[in-house]
Structure formats: C-alpha cells, structure tokens
Structure 1
C-alpha cells in the first residue's frame, strides 16, 4: 500500500554521513567550516547528510544550538541531497519539540535515538516513538544503538512501530548481522533498514539493507559513496574494491569515543579547527600516530 512517505523511502539510501559539528577552539560552532564540509560531502557523492547526530555532538549542544544547526544545514544544503535531522532525546516532550523544529526548518527526515539513560521497557519505547510520530507529521527514522544508549529497541517493537505511516526507516547500529538480517526479512518494504555500523555495513547490504549512516564518511566521502553506490547496484565486487583501501578506518576511528578520533582526523586533514566540547576532550596524544598512520594508509594525508 502506497503512502505519502514512499518518496523519502527511495531517497534514504547509499552513503549517508553523520557529519561532525565543527567548532572553534573555544567550543563555538564554526559555521564556515560546516558549509565547507557540506559542500565537500556533496561533491564527493554522499547521498544524504545527517545533522546533529551522535557524531555531531548532539549531547553537548544546547537545545537552541541544536535547532540553529539544523536550520543552517537545511538552508545551506538547499535541496541538493536529503537532510536527516537528529532530534532524539531521553525526554519524549523534548524529542517532540526538537522534531517540530526540524520539521519547521524543512528537514527531510528526523533521526530518533532510543531514549538513553532512563532505560524504559519495550512498551515505553513503543509509546515514546509513537507519541513523536503522532505529534509531528514528518518522516521519522528510528535509531537503535544500544552500545551508547543502553536501551535496545527489540525487533518486535520495531515491527509494531512499522505500522505507523511516518516511521519510514531504522538505523541499526547493533553491529549484529544476524539481527540486522532478521529485521530486514521481518520488515519487508514497510521500513527502510540502514546500517549504523561502518564495520558491518557492506555485509548488511548483502542482506538487503539500503545504505549506511557513517562516521568514516566524514573523512573518506568519495570512497564511501563509491562503495555504497556499487552495493546498491548489486555490484559487490566493485563495492569491495572501493572499500578495501579504507576498511581499516572503521576500527581506528573508534580508538576513543566518537567523534573524538574523527575530529582529530579532520583537523589533521586541515578541514576543521581543534574544537570539541566537554565532557569530550581532544584525542589523547598516545593515539595520534595511530590515526596519522591510518590516514596515510588510506591516502588521505
């Protein structure tokens, strides 16, 4: 059965970057560098951009800054690619408010992380996402990342939520191919399944996932776009060939909590200043050589 949300489902695919929020050394958002990163990503073939996700330091931006960055993103992208706005929160009321702001700004889809820290049961998770979907008439994507949020959105809960028309996708960052494959089979065409785990994303696409929301694409957008464009075509030999020179980055960029390593990498590449917000800190000097070597190996430095 077709719905008003079928078009966005076809556009949520390929290489999708969870973009960092560049900052000045004093922690203020660096909009000039943000514009440059957006242009670079689009020129390199990135299919969709995520504003203020986990990698964009959503947890350290104020509510006003959060909305301001999303508005800037949407205006600057100007329809060149879809913009997915991170609007999740562990308060349902706050998530609704952020999602309303994203809808008003013109974002194409909202990305809603599982409500972290307070550990709701599955019924609480269902009611949380249902309430946001009913309150804001825009396409919405679930985001399951139990390694960071502590809560795990069970497949049965996702299947219940898939009956809500404007819940159009899920970012599965469990890293479990078995779980991902079962989810894809259970959901069919109702909800788009995307990987949120760089290391297993290509393999999940063999099982029917439509793309990957990536940390690595922050520094290797062209290689990632070539990888996942080939995978979408079903040409996994070409995908593997494009992916092989950067595959090591998926490990090295998590040597400390993300986005610490990827911000260091972008700084070494001359693309952002040395800005990050507490409680995150700059990459420990003991790891600098690891990232430097990884960049050289990937021909990025």
Structure 2
C-alpha cells in the first residue's frame, strides 16, 4: 500500500479503543483488550488507533504502550488498519514508532506534545523529526489552539505525512486551512478529531473522516452517521446527531475530563469489558452515571447491572 492509498483509507471512522484496567490493581486486563479489539473489528471499524487519548495513553508505561500496540496488531490480524499512538519526548516517540513498525502497524498517530512550554517553530521540529525518523506513514494529532496552522503548511509536503487529526473546534479556521492545502495537491486526510458531535460540521468543512470513542459501545450508530455523511442524507445526519449529542455532551464535562469514563461506564452497563480508569480520572458517579444508564436504555442496548 502506498501513501496515497493509505490516505484514502483514512477517510472513515478512526476507532480509539479503550484500555480496560482491573478494579483494585488497575493492571491491564489483557483478555479485555482482546475482546474489545474483536468487538471493533467484527463491527466493521476499519481503522483502529491503539494508544489514543481515549485509550488513556498518558496513563500507560512505555512497556505497556508497546505491548498494547503489539497485541492490537496481532488481534486485528490484517482486518483493519492499525495506526499506533506515539508521543512523549522526541526520542521516546521515535522508539515507540520504530517498535510499531516492527510489530506490524500500518502507521503512527503523533500525539500533540504535552509540555506546558511550546512554540510554533518547536512544534514543527518535534513533528518533523519524528516523522522523518520512522519508516511508517504518520498522522499528526493537532490539538493545541494556541499553535498556528502555519505549522501544518510546513509539514504537509513530507511524503510520510498522510493525515491530520484536527481537534480544534474552530470551523472557519479549519476550513481555511483545508482550502489552503487542498487534498488534490497534498496526500493528507483531514480527520475530525473531536468525534461524532463535531463530525458533520467538520465534514462540510472538508474532513474525510472522524475519530470515535462511541464505537467501543455503539458502533452501529456511528457507522450510520458515517454513511449518512457519505450519502449527503441531511435528514438522517441530523437525526443520528441528535441521538448521539447527549452522550458526547457528557464526555465534554469537566473540560472533557469525562472523555474516557463516560465511554467506560456505557460499556460496562452494556455488558462489555471496560474496566476502571486510571488516574488522573476517576469512575463516574451519581447523576452522571444515571445519565449514561438512561442513554443505554434509550438506545435499547443491554443493561449489565442496575444503577445503585
């Protein structure tokens, strides 16, 4: 598969699998990892992104991240693309990227640096040095609104850059960047990085696909939205969007601190293996937990347990 072919294949849903941790020890539940990857693939999710933010990437040790990437490739077994999340310092990201290559991943997702001090020039060097050092195609996770989109203009000419996961909910800004860097001149897939709530708006502005945590619990509904967008079926787009909006709004609470825990709670109530989160987030409680239960009932998904 060449870079252009991979770019085209990114025009879909990028499923970010959760990482199930055991209650008490918070060790990774490896049988749960296998179950959840199989759930995604069997439900026709075509791009799997282990070690994404919804995977609690920054709560993993380097060895755990490597093992998750390796096992994901093994469990997917060629049935979907595997785009492995990498990050931390430049040398560490390169180490993870080279490991991903050896493990058989199809590409890498470069996380936005989490250092509190970052400049536009430094960000260009960060991404460029990692992309050029790894013999895999790469997707940039562009999340920091304080950085300038000129960064992307400096990077799109890199042959191994095949996608940008754009996670800044500024639609005029995004549209302007896409129009400045059209896909017929650059082999880059523009991906909405803020899931189903924002997917229709990003799609109209030029995104070819979007990321999803919802697919861990309700992949059929996310795929319904994707198909409606492809068909320009506007009535269905907004019908599905309204069904999913309460779920995505819950995930945005506490400055998106609920991103992972809402997905995990929904999975557990639907009988799937989500486990507990790791610090710095805690399990869902009280009325928010009940709100998830109400959604699961509304969607007619199975309830594993009664809310106490």
CA distance in 2, matches of 1:160, 1:173: 18
Match of 2:165 among 167, 171, 179: 171
Counterpart for residue 78 of structure 1: 77
Pick from 138, 141, 161 the counterpart of residue 140 of structure 1.
138
CA RMSD, Structure 1 to Structure 2 (Å): 1.8
The equivalent residue for 1:101 is: 99
Q: How far apart are the structure 2 equivalents of 1:68 and 1:274?
A: 18
Aligned partner of 1:187 among 181, 191, 195: 181
Q: CA deviation at 1:116?
A: 1.0
Residue 294 of structure 2 corresponds to: 293
Once the two structures are superposed, the pairs formed by residues 1-301 of structure 1 within 5 Å of their partners are 4-25=2-23, 26-89=25-88, 91-146=89-144, 152-189=146-183, 190=186, 191-198=188-195, 199-256=197-254, 257=257, 258-300=259-301, 301=303
Please give the alpha-carbon distance, in whole angstroms, between the structure 1 residues aligned to 2:274 and 2:246. Answer: 24
- Does the 8 Å CA contact 2:110/2:139 hold for their aligned counterparts? yes
CA 1:102/1:265 → structure 2, altered by over 3 Å: closer, same or farther? same
The separation in 2 between residues aligned to 1:43 and 1:237, in whole angstroms, is: 28
What's the secondary structure of 1:165's corresponding residue? coil
Q: Which sections of structure 1, spanning at least 5 residues, go unmatched?
A: none
Structure 2: distance between partners of 1:290 and 1:223: 19
> Which deviates the most, 231-240 or 219-228?
231-240
Q: Secondary structure at the match of 2:59?
A: coil
Q: Give, in whole Å, the separation in 1 of the partners of 2:226 and 2:33.
A: 24
Matched residue SS, 2:296: helix
CA–CA distance in 2 between the matches of 1:93 and 1:153? 22
> Tell me, which stretches of 5 or more residues in structure 2 are unaligned?
304-308
Change (3 A) 1:171 1:49: same
Which whole-Å CA distance do the structure 1 matches of 2:68 and 2:243 have between them? 32
Q: Secondary structure at the match of 2:91?
A: helix
State the alpha-carbon separation in 2 of the partners of residues 8 and 245 from structure 1. 31
Distance 2:153 2:274 in 1: 43
SS at match of 1:295: helix
Which whole-Å CA distance do the structure 1 matches of 2:200 and 2:179 have between them?
17
* Count of aligned pairs: 294
Cα distance per residue 1:77-122 (max 9 Å; x no partner): 0111111111022x11111111111111111121112111232200
Instruction: Give the Cα separation in 2 of the matches to 1:95 and 1:110.
Output: 10
